[in-house]
Amino acid sequence: MADAMPENLGARVPLNQGSPIPWLGLGVFLSEPGRVTEQAVRWALDAGYRLLDTAAMYENEADVGRAVRASGVPRDQVFVTTKLWFEDLGYASALKAGRASRDRLGLDYIDLYLIHWPRAPSPQVRIDTWRALAELRDEGVCRAIGVSNFTIRHLEELRAASTIVPAVDQVEFHPWIYDPEFLAYAAQHGIRPEAYSPLTRSRSLGDPTVGEIARAHGRSPAQVLIRWGLQHGIVEIPKSVHRERIEENARVFDFALTPADMDRLDALRSGARVTKWDPATIP
């Protein structure tokens, strides 16, 4: 059954573990550590966002946690994701890194802990890392576990080695790398797809097709791209450190793209990524 489309910024979708995740959140990749990140998170929470996405590699986990604690929003209403960097893959190192991320956040628990990249010396290291994440979940360090940048091949590897299915696979996803096979696989196995860089880091906001559709709906290109992902059943985490952009990105629940709009956006697929690594090249 297809997902019911979210009607407001407070809408959430169930995961196969842990608490339901908000459909739309704030990503803080490349947000400057310190005041800049902390202020962006405060603005997002003030605007009604309840999903925040950080990572050990971003070096701003502490700022995210500080903003959450200072916001006055009850902890159980905020869904916080962070990630294990590939340099910490391995059973013992993943256990240590997960506990350290929780401590840097200054929160009692992490809502969702992800393996950031499948870049590992061997498949066995990925499997050992997944076992460590399961242990962190059992300890209460995190409530749910998942992956990021895993292809179907990497997901199949985990499925063959563990009974725990990732709650989320966070991947770069936008019309230019639209992948219906991945979406179908995720739906089949109960994995929620989540899009980072849904706005292509602004590189494609000037695309003529996106612009035409945006004008037809009286919306911005960014709003069209976010709405496209939502209508494909994808959790979206656009990044911004500007208050007006954070608020604009949230105004996507009071319009809908038509089937023709969706087809035109799907057809933009070219394989052009904004990330420097293509997960499909990782053994």
Q: Which residues contact 34 (CB under 8 A, 6 or more apart)?
A: 60, 63
Query: Which CA distances in Å does 107 have to 57, 96, 246?
Result: 18, 16, 24
Q: Among 49, 58, 109, 196, which one carries the catalytic annotation? A: 58
58 is an active site residue = yes
Delimit the domains of the chain by residue range: 12-202+227-255
Judge contact between 147 and 167, C-beta under 8 A.
Answer: no
**Which residues lie across from 83 on neighbouring strands?**
114
Residues of the chain with pLDDT under 70: 1-2
pLDDT in tens, 185-199: 999 999 999 999 999
**Which residue, 106, 118, 184, is CA-closest to 149?**
118
Cβ count within 10 A of residue 125: 18
Please name the residue that has the structure tokens 């052009």: 272
pTM of the model: 0.96
pLDDT digits (tens, 9 = 90+) for 13-36: 999 999 999 999 999 999 999 999
In three-state secondary structure terms, 24 is strand
Give the sign of the dihedral formed by CA 117, CA 202, CA 54, CA 175: negative
So what's the architecture of 12-202+227-255 in CATH? Alpha-Beta Barrel (3.20)
Q: Indicate the residue type of 268.
A: L
What pLDDT score was predicted for residue 3?
83
The span from the first CA to the last CA of the chain, in angstroms, equals: 33
